[in-house]
Amino acid sequence: MLPLILASGDTFIVKPPPDDRRKSSRINQLQTVRIRPADSKYAEEIRKTLNVSWDGFYFATSLGHYFAGMDVFVTRDYRPNHPANREEQATIVRVDKLKEGRWGVAVQSSRDVSTKKIT
C-alpha cells in the first residue's frame, strides 16, 4: 500500500499506510457456511460469505448476538446432511454495523480442523 500524502498550502505530510493485520489475502467469494456459537443460548445460522481467506471469512447477518472474542464452530462449504461437512473452531474478531439492521461479522479460524462430522 502506498503512503498517504496530504497537502495543506505549501506543506506536504506523508503518512504511512494503516497496518493491515490480515495474515492472508481475501477474495470475494460466495461460500455457504454454518456458524454455530459455542454457547448454545445463541442461535446457529447458515449464511453466504461476502469474502473468504485461508484463515477466515466475512458474512452479513440480521442476528445481533455476535461479539468480538465470541467462540464459534463453523462449517465451510456447508451442505445439509452431507458426509463431507467438517466443523472447525473459530473466533469472531470484528462486528461491523451495516445498513438496515444488519451486521458484518469477521470470523478467524484456528485452522485446527476437528474430525467431527456434522449433519
Give the span between the Cα atoms of 9 and 19, in whole angstroms: 28
Give the span between the Cα atoms of 102 and 80, in whole angstroms: 25
Give the span between the Cα atoms of 43 and 9, in whole angstroms: 55
Instruction: Count the helices and strands in the chain (H runs, E runs).
Output: 0, 8
List the domains of the chain with CATH numbers. 21-117 (2.40.10.220)
| Residue 113 pLDDT | 45
Listed residue (112, 102, 110, 89) closest to 50, CA to CA: 102
Q: What is the DSSP letter of 27?
A: B
| Residue 13 pLDDT | 52
Give the span between the Cα atoms of 119 and 110, in whole angstroms: 21
With a cut of 70, which residues of the chain have pLDDT below it? 1-29, 111-119
How much of the chain is helix, strand and coil, in % rounded to 5? 0, 55, 45
| Residue 5 pLDDT | 47
